[in-house]
Amino acid sequence: MGAKKRKPALPALDPYLAFLIFAGVGVGTLRLGMEVRSVILWSTLLGLCLYHAEERGIEARYSLANLGYGAAVGLIVSLPFALLAGDALRATSAKLFPAASRAALFQSLVFLAAPAEELYFRSFLQRERGLPSAALLYALGMAILFLPAFSGFPLILAAVTAAMGLLGFIYGYVYHRHGLSASIACHVVANAMLFFAPFLLGG
């Protein structure tokens, strides 16, 4: 019985090249509506990560303890802002997701945005290039994502980008300590508190 032929390996994908692909999609979709564009960008990250996983795999380090740790950090980080800056967050959420229904916004933030962003920026980029690069490019990636909403407000865009960079560093620290499942849980809770809860309270 002859030996099985090995499948030819896919060409390796550099994480920086993957980011350039993401940025190119971001530029190419600037004229689309925010809701459609964000789904395309998150789906692009997910596709790039699935391609990379063929070569390196995905290490989730799943456990209920890790999920709880990540969720607790996400709550601790985001709850003060949700309580003290609710009006500003509500305005930001409305600007970023102007036409999204509550159900569509929740599904996008929890089931698409958080996993897709963590898979690329932590499990792919941070694992290959380290936390500083991952946090910096996460901030830049979020600037690309939010650019149409704040193109006429450069100071607000800069503030949102800086805040996303800080969150990216926190997600990266959680990933470093407790793995991908914890960073996804942290990101999910932060998204829910910062973007969905203000949208919900806004009526």
Q: Three-state SS string across the chain, please?
A: CCCCCCCCCCCCCCHHHHHHHHHHHHHHCCCCCHHHHHHHHHHHHHHHHHHHHHHHCCCCCCCHHHHHHHHHHHHHHHHHHHHHCHHHHHHHHHHHCCCCCHHHHHHHHHHHHHHHHHHHHHHHHHHHHCHHHHHHHHHHHHHHHHHHHHCCCHHHHHHHHHHHHHHHHHHHHHHHHHCHHHHHHHHHHHHHHHHHHHHHHCC
Specify if 176 maps to a domain: yes
Considering its fold, how many domains does the chain have in total?
A: 1
pLDDT at 1 over 80: no
pLDDT at 106: 87
Could you tell me the pTM of the whole model? 0.90
pLDDT tens track for 122-150: 999 999 999 999 999 999 999 999 999 88
Specify if 195 maps to a domain: yes
Specify if 186 maps to a domain: yes
Task: Provide the residue range defining the domain that includes 182.
Answer: 35-51+85-201
Specify if 166 maps to a domain: yes
pLDDT at 203: 56
Specify if 99 maps to a domain: yes
pLDDT at 19: 96
Specify if 65 maps to a domain: no
Specify if 60 maps to a domain: no
Quickly state the pLDDT bin for 107 (edges 50, 70, 90).
confident
pLDDT at 42 over 80: yes
pLDDT at 6 over 70: no
pLDDT at 153 over 90: no
Specify if 10 maps to a domain: no
Question: Where is pLDDT greater, at 200 or 26?
Answer: 26
